[in-house]
């Protein structure tokens, strides 16, 4: 098959109030997943639960808590959990898949996305989410289906609320967490060193017993990143280290951060850097970038992105502005959503097979046509969406600064932005289809287009695309 069963290229970053222009916390995440795995944006309302009730996760059932909080999450359609999401208290979490020293234990368990959603449903602060994720790992373990074990099945997280940001990294049932002072970020590699804030009980002892560190290592000198990092990683897994180095450049020494800066970070293709100078288009994905395309080393694609602005002193409805994008963000658009216990209905639907009425599939379809000739089609798409997004940002700033307390105003703005961006994407697809010639095709990306489109039932003109 053209596309790989392994995906390891998510990217998560956050800036605390000490590093942002307005004192809010700004969070950004690209969710990079299997090609053709739909990832709609979903809303789940707060609920009370009966004593003894259980919750069905992706592979196992676990005890439910008495009350779960409302949350918005970017949800791969085949799983219970989220790639990233935010709850009614403004707790925001994004996850990263990472290889560790050992494959997860061979028993049914939770997966990182399940743990993320469970933490959102059960936490009213970032610190509480750290505690809950640690408890879930220690109690149930991670790894999902024991018959399909792969090495990169540990999960790391960036956890934020309007006041604090934490990095959380795990290896099997061990974990370490670090409070972020200004900026924090993760790729698909371990990064927390001996400056952790908390460490799980037994993590140091396990590392000594298994020979990952010197038996003489003291707790204050324990370096989880070096202890847990695998020393014979596959070449494909090394891309996480490359993107982590890029994040260091994007996130340090650039304060104060704004939402637009975080959006641009998620679109990064090494613009202006020597590493970005290549004969191939970004769609060919020959270099591991923050904005992930399906054509090259990663075997996966940015399915959805978000930038969340989280405020500590604001009315409940303005506790966050959740800017959501679908498909690789370099040729997509971020739309705003608020803490009003609601999302447009059409955003919440997308399954295994293509449907023209699903916004997620529409933005993916647009990405595929752009890939057929990135140099020709991407500039017009970027121009259209950049102008629209800048207008949304300006309007959001005005509405948020002059809000009259009516939640309907926020709903109407979100609905209009979502509808306008969807219609623009459909118009751009029609425009590309109307001008596309066989001579335009980037032959390197042709197999990608035809195989994945056939795989999800996305129709195309076989007389032109051949």
Q: How do residues 291-318 score in pLDDT, each as one tens digit?
A: 999 875 446 899 999 999 999 999 999 9
Q: How confident is the model at residue 145, as a pLDDT?
A: 76
Number of neighbouring beta carbons within 10 Å of residue 232? 6
Cα separation, 446 vs 382, in Å, equals: 22
Judge whether residue 5 has pLDDT over 50: no
Tokens found for residue 318: 């303005």
What sign does the CA torsion over 423, 373, 34, 251 have? negative
Rounded to the nearest angstrom, the gap between the alpha carbon of residue 34 and the centroid of all alpha carbons in its chain is: 13
- pLDDT tens, position by position, 155-169: 999 999 999 999 999
Question: Which range, of 118-127, 206-215, 225-234, 240-249, averages the lowest pLDDT?
Answer: 225-234
Average pLDDT over residues 61-72: 98
Q: What's the pLDDT at 230? A: 85
Residue 263 scores a pLDDT above 50: yes
Residue 249: its pLDDT value, please? 95
Three-class SS of residue 46? coil
Q: What is the pLDDT of residue 296?
A: 54
Instruction: Please identify every residue annotated as catalytic.
Output: 10
DSSP 3-state percent helix, strand, coil across the chain (nearest 5) = 40, 20, 40
Q: Is residue 3 scored above 80 in pLDDT?
A: no
Any idea what DSSP says for residue 179? E
CB 302 within 8 A of CB 76: no
Give the pLDDT score at 233.
61
For residue 147, pLDDT over 90 is answered with: no
Q: How many angstroms separate the CA atoms of 327 and 340, rounded?
A: 25
* CA distances, 133 to each of 1, 93, 259, 401 (Å): 35, 11, 27, 35
pTM to 2 decimal places: 0.96
| pLDDT of amino acid 6 | 46
What pLDDT, on the 0 to 100 scale, is given for residue 1?
A: 30
Mean confidence (pLDDT) of the chain: 93
> What 3-state DSSP class applies to 14?
strand
Mean pLDDT, rounded, for 287-294: 91
What does the pLDDT look like over 81-122, one tens digit per residue?
999 999 999 999 999 999 888 877 778 889 999 999 999 999
- Strand ranges (E), 260-384: 301-310, 320-326, 335-338
- In the chain, the domains with their CATH numbers are 11-351 (3.60.60.10), 371-456 (no CATH)
């Amino acid at each position: 098959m053209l596309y790989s069963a392994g995906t390891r290229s998510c990217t998560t970053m956050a800036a605390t109030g000490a590093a942002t222009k307005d004192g809010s916390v700004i969070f950004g995440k690209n969710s990079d997943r299997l090609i053709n795995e739909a990832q709609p944006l979903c809303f789940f309302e707060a609920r009370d639960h009966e004593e003894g009730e259980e919750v069905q996760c992706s592979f196992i059932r676990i005890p439910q808590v008495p009350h779960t909080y409302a949350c918005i999450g970017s949800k791969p359609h085949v799983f219970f959990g989220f790639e990233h999401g935010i709850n009614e208290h403004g707790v925001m979490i994004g996850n990263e898949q990472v290889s560790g020293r050992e494959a997860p234990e061979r028993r049914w368990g939770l997966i990182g996305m399940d743990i993320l959603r469970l933490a959102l449903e059960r936490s009213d602060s970032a610190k509480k989410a750290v505690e809950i994720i640690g408890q879930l790992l220690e109690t149930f373990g991670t790894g999902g289906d024991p018959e399909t074990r792969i090495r990169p099945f540990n999960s790391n997280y960036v956890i934020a609320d309007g006041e604090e940001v934490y990095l959380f990294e795990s290896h099997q049932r061990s974990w370490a967490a670090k409070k972020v002072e200004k900026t924090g970020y993760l790729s698909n590699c371990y990064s927390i060193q001996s400056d952790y804030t908390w460490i799980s009980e037994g993590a140091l002892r396990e590392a000594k017993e298994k020979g990952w560190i010197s038996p003489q290592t003291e707790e204050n000198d324990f370096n989880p990143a070096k202890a847990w990092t695998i020393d014979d990683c596959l070449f494909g897994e090394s891309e996480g280290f490359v993107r982590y180095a890029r994040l260091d450049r994007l996130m340090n020494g650039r304060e104060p951060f704004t939402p637009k800066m975080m959006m641009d970070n998620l679109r990064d293709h090494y613009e202006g850097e020597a590493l970005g100078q290549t004969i191939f288009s970004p769609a060919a994905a020959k270099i591991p970038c923050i904005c992930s395309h399906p054509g090259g080393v990663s075997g996966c694609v940015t399915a959805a992105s978000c930038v969340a602005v989280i405020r500590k002193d604001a009315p409940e409805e303005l506790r966050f502005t959740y800017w959501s994008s679908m498909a690789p963000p370099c040729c997509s658009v971020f739309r705003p959503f608020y803490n009003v216990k609601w999302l447009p209905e059409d955003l919440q639907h997308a399954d295994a097979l293509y449907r023209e009425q699903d916004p997620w599939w529409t933005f993916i379809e647009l990405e595929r046509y752009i890939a057929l000739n990135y140099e020709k089609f991407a500039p017009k798409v970027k121009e259209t969406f950049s102008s629209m997004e800048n207008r949304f940002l300006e309007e959001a700033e005005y509405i948020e600064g002059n809000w009259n307390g009516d939640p309907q105003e926020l709903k109407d703005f979100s609905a209009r932005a979502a509808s306008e961006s969807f219609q623009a994407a459909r118009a751009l697809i029609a425009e590309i289809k109307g001008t596309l010639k066989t001579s335009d095709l980037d032959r390197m990306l042709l197999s990608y287009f035809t195989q994945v489109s056939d795989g999800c039932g996305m129709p195309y003109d076989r007389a032109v695309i051949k």
